[in-house]
Amino acid sequence: MSLDQDTLEQLLDTIRRFVDERLRPLEARVAEEDEVPADVVAEMRELGLFGLSIPEEYGGLGLTMEEECRVAMVFGRTSPAFRSVFGTNVGIGSQGLVMFGTDEQKQRFLPDIATGELVTSFALTEPEAGSDSAAVQTRARRDGDHYVLNGSKRFITNADKAGLFTVMARTDPDTPGAKGISAFLVPQGSPGLSIGKPEKKMGQHGAHVCDVVFKDVRVPAENRIGAEGEGFKVAMQVLDRGRLHIAAVCVGAAERLIEDCVAYATERRQFGKPIADFQLVQAMIADSRTEAMAARALVMETARKRDTGASTTLEAAASKYFASEMVGRVADRAVQIFGGAGYIADYGIERFYRDVRLFRIYEGSSQIQQLIIARETIRG
Ligand SMILES: Cc1cc2nc3c(=O)[nH]c(=O)nc-3n(C[C@H](O)[C@H](O)[C@H](O)COP(=O)(O)OP(=O)(O)OC[C@H]3O[C@@H](n4cnc5c(N)ncnc54)[C@H](O)[C@@H]3O)c2cc1C
């Protein structure tokens, strides 16, 4: 279901103002305190941000992928930690349920996910199962009308705030790899479920990741998403979609950095003129602009293709690969254009440089995207 053009433009305008006027002034504070203030989270809820991708019948905005990418690009223009507040509800934390859940499961959880009352997390990664995510060892043993979960998950975004986890666990220990895995909805507060302390990270301070440990956690069988053995498929389809959203955030971040570079380069004077007059500085701006434009075009084209119902596994991987590597190069050039100031915390550029580094790692590292792109190309 897509919004009419006026409503979409109004929504984007409102979000743009929120990002520019409310969030950007808070960037340094959020990084310093490693927390997004509660009143900001409340405002995000009021804006409907937690429900961007949740179908309207469950209280969300039901945006198309193209519309969601446009919102993600606007949010890319500020610290990624802000997007993380609602990012799991929009993407990896809710989409298994949206795509594969039963009506009853959707009725039970989606309305609260859409309002942000319920924060969600996606728990796939484990200490021994990172890029090789089909190597999941967390065990889900059937016991009557329940499953009993044991194992641990690592680096789970928003785990300390989540009320609901989508957990991938092995239901069939005799079937190694993808086919033995199932997906479960596990509410916070389930006896035996515990959350580790937030990890100290390189960047994106204000967004938290923690271990999630399951010790004889009983989960009703009705909380399984999809059929037994379908969990890996659920996870891959969720990530397929999530990668496009992340790529859109990278585009927004690059565009923000380019604007910051232009503002600085036109103001900062050396050798009697603005450094923007020097062609070697212009070359950096040109390279960044060109790459950001190419990434924007790729992401938007892929989003539109996805909205037709076509498979975009290859294109989503290419979007994430190109956009996340691109924003890394743009951030690196931004440090260079700012010179010494680029390395000094007060200017915020070094913070962005650290923040965007993550995009090349999570939701599938660049190497994993390359493997997907090659596999799909060779197969095609
Ligand atoms: C801040 C943060 C948030 C995260 N949030 C979540 C979350 O919410 N939920 C979740 O489930 N996970 C989450 N993750 C985990 C993330 O998805 C993994 O860290 C990522 O997939 C890489 O896995 P790994 O860390 O085990 O690295 P490894 O798999 O050990 O990879 C190490 C290096 O080897 C390379 N490599 C691995 N296999 C191959 C191969 N076959 N060919 C070529 N190169 C290869 C990788 O590309 C990488 O460069 C998060 C991680 C971080 C840091």
User: Model-level pTM?
Assistant: 0.97
Q: Is the shortest distance between the CB of 331 and ligand 1 below 6 Å?
A: no
| Environment class of 129 (CB within 10 Å of its CB; exposed 0-12, middle 13-18, buried 19+) | buried
CA of 236 to the centre of ligand 1 (A): 14
Query: How far is the centre of ligand 1, averaged over its atoms, from the C-alpha of 133 (Å)?
Result: 9
* pLDDT for the residue numbered 1: 58
Q: What is the position in ligand 1's atom list of the atom closest to the CA of 368?
A: 47
Residues of the chain with pLDDT under 70: 1
359 lines ligand 1 (CB under 6 A): no
Q: End-to-end CA distance of the chain, in Å?
A: 30
Ligand 1 midpoint to CA 368 (Å): 9
pLDDT value at position 371? 98
**Pocket lining: 175 vs ligand 1, CB cutoff 6 Å:** no
DSSP for 33-98 reads HTS--HHHHHHHHHHTGGGTTS-GGGTS----HHHHHHHHHHHTTS-HHHHHHHHHHHTTTTHHHH
Going by alpha carbons, the residue nearest to atom 26 of ligand 1 is 130
Top mutation candidate among 89, 92, 126, 155 for ligand 1, by most atoms within 8 Å of CB: 155
Hey, what amino acid is at 125? T
The answer to whether residue 363 is catalytic is yes
The single residue of 67, 230, 255, 363 carrying the catalytic annotation is 363
